[in-house]
Amino acid sequence: MQKHFPYKLYLVISEEACLHHHFLEVAERAIIGGVDIVQLREKNASTKEFQQKALRLKEVLDKYNVPLIINDNLKVAKQVEAYGIHVGTSDIPPTQIREKWKNLACLGYSIEDNKQFNSEEFKTADYLGISPVFKTPTKTDTIIEWGLSGVKKIRSSTDKPLVAIGNINTTNAHQVIKAGANCLAVVSAICAAKCPTLAAEKLRNEIEKL
Ligand SMILES: Cc1ncc(COP(=O)(O)OP(=O)(O)O)c(N)n1
Ligand SMILES: Cc1nc(C(=O)O)sc1CCOP(=O)(O)O
Ligand SMILES: [Mg+2]
Q: What is the pLDDT of residues 141-200, one digit of tens each?
A: 998 999 999 999 999 999 999 999 999 999 999 999 999 999 999 999 999 999 999 999
pTM reported for the whole predicted model: 0.98
User: What does the domain layout of the chain look like in residue ranges?
Assistant: 9-208
Q: Where are the beta strands (DSSP E) in the chain?
A: 9-13, 37-40, 68-71, 84-87, 106-111, 127-130, 162-165, 183-186
Strands 84-87 and 106-111 turn out to be parallel
In terms of residues, how long is the chain? Answer: 210
Ligand nearest to the CA of 131: 2
Looking at the CA of 39, which ligand is closest? 1
Fold classified for 9-208: TIM Barrel (3.20.20)
How would you label 134-167 residue by residue, b for 16+ Cβ within 10 Å and e otherwise? bebebbeebeeebbbebbebbbeebebbbbbbbb
Q: Residue type for 19, please?
A: L
20 CA to middle of ligand 1, Å?
Answer: 23
pLDDT digits (tens, 9 = 90+) for 97-149: 999 999 999 999 999 999 999 999 999 999 999 999 999 999 999 989 999 99
Contact criterion met (CB below 8 Å) for 126 and 108: yes
Determine contact, residues 34/200, Cβ cutoff 8 Å: yes
**137: cis peptide before it, omega within 30°?**
no
> 69-111, pLDDT tens digit by residue?
999 999 999 999 999 999 999 999 999 999 999 999 999 999 9
> Atom 9 in ligand 1: which residue has the minimum CA distance?
88
Residue 3 has pLDDT above 90, yes or no: no
CB 8 less than 6 A from any atom of ligand 1: no
Which of 106, 139, 144 for mutating ligand 1's site (highest number of atoms within 8 Å of CB)? Answer: 139
